[in-house]
Each structure stands twice: as structure tokens, then as C-alpha cells.
């Protein structure tokens, strides 16, 4: 009896791991998305989202939405949107509202229905108390993530 009871939670874990929640965020394109940011300090800044198609040509007709979340639960996200790209770059006003670790989620949709979504890690946003030197050493320039099964890079440099 006890053995069966031990198995129950294990079974639950396996079941949830095998058939759990799937995000509806669809990626049906091979767009390359990169995010650059002017400042990694708390306060206002601009996010530059660069979008290239599979041939490496800039995409200027997309609507780009961004959502900035901290790594932990509960903080109000920072939202932004742009639908006017220039040379594939969409500039979106943004604000790091708190020091710490952030994620930027970029959603792209094109007039032909093509959509893409990607998330970028921006760990180590600096606070007012810390000097620029602290952040000069931070390794946030190369952020790897996976989209459509392929690794892509995003960088602030």
C-alpha cells in the first residue's frame, strides 16, 4: 500500500511533464530577431529591435510588441510597441523600472500573417547605487536563445 502511495506523486510529476501546458505563442517564420539596448541602468532608455528575414534582408513592415518582465513573479511588466521600422530596426521607448534580472519578450507580426516570438535575457540591470564600472564588466552582450529550433544571437554590442 505504501509503495503505491509513494508512486502516486511520482506518477503525477511524470504525467504533468509529459502532457502539460503548451504556449499558444506561435512561431511560423524564420525571422531573425535581435535586441539592442542603449542603457543597462535603471531608468528610461530605448530598445532597438532588429528584424531580418531568412535572406538577411531587413524587415520594415512588421508590428513589433515588446514585454519586459523581471525574472521573478509579480512585477508589473513594461510594454511597448512599434510598427515603423527603418533598415529593419524598430526603436521602442522603454524603462528599466528596477535593478535586477530582466527578460524582454518580442512578438512580431507581419501583414501577411507571419508571426514570430522570442525572449531575451537581460540580467544584471544596474541600480542607482552602482557605478558604470560595475556594469561595464557584465557579460550581457551575447544572449543566446532558441527560436524555431535554431539558435540565434542578440547583442547590445
Partner 1 sequence: MGKKWSPVQNNRFVAPKSRFMSLYQPKTRFNVLKLPLIGPLLRWRWGRLIFQSVLLIVAVLLLYDGFSGPQFAPENLSTVVTWIHYRGIIVFGFLLLGNIFCMGCPFTMPRTLAKRLAISGRRWPKFLRNKWLAIGLLFFFFWAYEYFDLFASPLLTAWVILGYFIASFFLETIFSESVFCKYVCPLGTFNFVSSTISPLQITIEDRNVCNTCTGRECLNGTTAMGQPGNPITKNGAVISLDSIDVLGCGTELFAPRIKSNLDCTLCLDCVRACPHDNVILGARNPLKEVKEGTWPARWDISFLVLIFTFSALGNAFGMVGPVFQLEAWLANVLNVQDEALPLLIIFGVTNLIMPIGFGLLAAWTSRALAKREEPIRNTLARYVPAFSPLAFSIWLAHYGGFHFLGSAAAISPVFKNFLEDHNIYFLGEPNWTMAAIVPLNWLDPMEMGIILVGLLASLYVLGERAKKAKPKKDKTLAQLPWMLLLIGITVAAFWIFYLPMEMRGVSIFA
Determine which residue in the list 30, 67, 138, 152 makes contact with partner 1, applying CB under 8 A.
Answer: 67
Between strands 143-147 and 150-154, the pairing is: antiparallel
Q: Does 74 bind partner 1 (CB under 8 A)?
A: yes
Q: Does 21 bind partner 1 (CB under 8 A)?
A: yes
State how far Cα 26 lies from the chain centre. Answer: 14
- Cβ atoms 85, 51 nearer than 8 A: yes
Query: Residue 70 contacts by C-beta under 8 Å, 6 or more apart in sequence?
Result: 98, 100, 101, 102, 103
Q: How far apart are CA 8 and CA 16, in angstroms?
A: 12
Q: Does 98 bind partner 1 (CB under 8 A)?
A: yes
Q: How far apart are CA 41 and CA 127, in angstroms?
A: 6
Determine which residue in the list 103, 110, 135, 145 makes contact with partner 1, applying CB under 8 A.
Answer: 103
Q: Which stretch binds partner 1 (CB under 8 A): 22-30, 31-39, 54-62, 85-93?
A: 22-30
Grid cell listed for 63: 508590428
Q: Please report the sign of the dihedral spanned by the C-alpha atoms of residue 56, residue 32, residue 62, residue 148.
A: positive
Q: Which stretch binds partner 1 (CB under 8 A): 4-12, 30-38, 54-62, 80-88?
A: 4-12
Determine which residue in the list 52, 69, 135, 138 makes contact with partner 1, applying CB under 8 A.
Answer: 69
Grid cell listed for 66: 515588446
Give me the least distance between CB of 57 and partner 1, in Å please: 31
Q: Does 133 bind partner 1 (CB under 8 A)?
A: no
Q: Give whichever of 13 and 61 is closer to partner 1, judged by the CB atom.
A: 13
**Interface with partner 1 by CB under 8 A: which residues?**
1-2, 5, 9, 12-13, 16-17, 19-24, 42, 67, 69-77, 79, 98-101, 103, 119, 121, 123-124, 127-130
Amino acid at each position: 500500500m505504501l509503495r503505491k502511495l509513494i508512486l502516486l506523486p511520482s506518477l503525477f510529476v511524470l504525467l504533468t511533464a509529459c502532457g502539460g501546458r503548451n504556449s499558444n505563442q506561435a512561431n511560423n517564420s524564420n525571422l531573425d530577431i535581435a535586441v539592442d539596448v542603449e542603457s543597462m541602468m535603471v531608468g528610461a532608455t530605448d530598445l532597438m529591435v532588429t528584424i531580418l528575414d531568412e535572406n538577411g534582408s531587413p524587415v520594415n513592415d512588421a508590428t513589433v510588441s515588446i514585454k519586459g518582465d523581471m525574472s521573478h513573479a509579480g512585477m508589473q511588466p513594461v510594454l511597448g510597441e512599434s510598427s515603423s521600422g527603418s533598415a529593419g530596426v524598430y526603436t521602442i521607448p522603454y524603462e528599466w523600472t528596477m535593478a535586477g534580472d530582466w527578460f524582454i519578450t518580442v512578438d512580431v507580426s507581419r501583414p501577411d500573417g507571419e508571426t514570430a516570438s522570442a525572449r531575451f535575457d537581460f540580467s544584471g540591470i544596474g541600480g542607482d547605487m552602482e557605478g558604470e564600472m560595475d556594469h561595464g564588466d557584465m557579460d550581457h552582450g551575447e544572449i543566446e536563445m532558441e527560436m524555431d529550433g535554431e539558435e540565434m544571437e542578440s547583442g547590445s554590442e
